[in-house]
Structure 1
């Protein structure tokens, strides 16, 4: 099982040291870039879910390309 934790910066070293002491846990920090990509992807998946359930309206792809 994989678990993502959001830890305050001033407590991260402490929590990482605790996790690394557990023989059944593999812990590695994400880089700022990896963290941002993961957040963006999570947000995109949540928005797609809202579109599929009808709680959010989708945007036409042509309109998006016209903006670019």
Structure 2
């Protein structure tokens, strides 16, 4: 059986970890991975370009035509 604890406060984690160890449970910590830095950079550059007027406006029909 697996039990997943989410949103555990840092101050409570050592207590839960020691309790689990004393009961013989296996502890697996899984860190959430942040976004890929290159992806974040591209998104931020795109937003900056739009703010500075370097974007283009397209209608839905023009976008659909590109997808054909």
Larger radius of gyration: 2
Query: What TM-score, normalized by structure 1, do the two folds share?
Result: 0.40
Structure with bigger helix share is 1
